[in-house]
Amino acid sequence: MIQKSGLGFASIETTLELWASSLREVKQRMRPLFAQERTAMNAGLFLDGLLGGEPRKTGWMRAEAAGDPGPWRQQALLGRDRWEADALRDLVREYVLEHLADDDAVLVVDETGFLKQGKGSCGVARQYTGSAGKITNCQIGVFLSYVSRHGHAFIDRALYLPKAGTEDRVRLKATSVPEEVGFATKPQLAARMIAQVIAAKAPFRWVAGDTVYGVGEIEMDLRRAGKGYVLGVDSAHVFRSWEKPRCIAGTAKKIAEALEPSDWIRLSAGAGTKGSRLYDWCYLELADLEAEEYTLDPRHADPAQHCRRRSCLLHHLVPGRNFDRHPGQGGRLPVGDRGQLRDRQERVRP
What digits encode the pLDDT tens for the residues 32-52?
A: 999 999 999 999 988 888 888
Tell me what pLDDT residue 133 has. Answer: 87
Going by C-beta distance under 8 Å and a sequence separation of 6 or more, which residues neighbour residue 280?
A: 264, 265, 266, 267, 332, 333, 334, 335, 339, 347
Last residue of a domain, one of 232, 267, 302: 232
What is the pLDDT at residue 50? 85
Domain contains 97? yes
Q: Are residues 200 and 310 in the same domain?
A: no
The β-bridge partners of 142 are 111, 158
Q: Note whether 246 and 294 are same-domain residues.
A: yes
Q: pLDDT higher for 350 or 230?
A: 230
- Asked if residue 26 lies in contact with residue 88, where contact means CB atoms within 8 angstroms, the answer is no
One domain, residues 128 and 117: yes
What confidence score (pLDDT) does residue 95 get? 96
| Final residue of a structural domain among 208, 232, 256 | 232
Give the separation between CA 53 and CA 44, rounded to whole angstroms.
16
Are 249 and 181 in the same domain?
no
- Same domain? For 333 and 310 the reply is yes
Same domain, 179 and 296: no
Mean pLDDT confidence for 47-75: 83
Residues 22 and 5: beta-carbon distance below 8 Å:
no
Q: Does residue 5 lie within any of the structural domains? A: no
Considering Cα of 337, then 338, then 344, then 346, what sign does the dihedral take? negative
End-to-end CA separation in angstroms for the chain: 51
Q: Does 239 share its domain with 228?
A: no
> Does residue 16 belong to any structural domain of this protein?
no
**Is 13 part of any domain?**
no
Kindly state whether residue 63 falls inside one of the protein's structural domains: no
- What average pLDDT does this structure show over 241-267? 87
- 131 and 174, same domain (yes or no): yes
Q: What CATH number is associated with residue 146?
A: 3.30.420
pTM of the predicted protein model: 0.75
> Same structural domain for residues 271 and 184?
no
Residue pair 224/294 in contact by the 8 Å Cβ criterion: yes
Residue predicted with more confidence, 57 or 13:
13
Last residue of a domain, one of 185, 205, 232: 232
- For residue 112, the enclosing domain spans 84-232
Give the residue from 108, 190, 197, 189 showing the smallest Cα distance to 152. 108
pLDDT at 9 (0 to 100): 66
Are 310 and 326 part of one and the same domain? yes
Mean per-residue pLDDT for 160-174?
84
Residue 82 CB-density burial (10 A; 0-12 exposed, 13-18 middle, 19+ buried) = exposed
Stronger pLDDT, 94 or 313, i.e. the higher one? 94
**Residues 182 and 172 reside in one and the same domain:** yes
Q: What percent of the chain shows pLDDT beyond 90?
A: 34
For the residues of 7-71, what is the DSSP string, one character each?
Answer: TEEEEHHHHHHHHHHHHHHHHHHHGGG-SSHHHHHHHHHHHHHHTSS-SS--HHHHHHHHT-SST
Higher pLDDT, 249 or 321: 249
Cα-based distances in Å from 206 to 120, 194, 199, 213, 315: 38, 11, 15, 14, 12
Report how many domains make up the chain. 2
Residues 100 and 183 occupy one common structural domain: yes
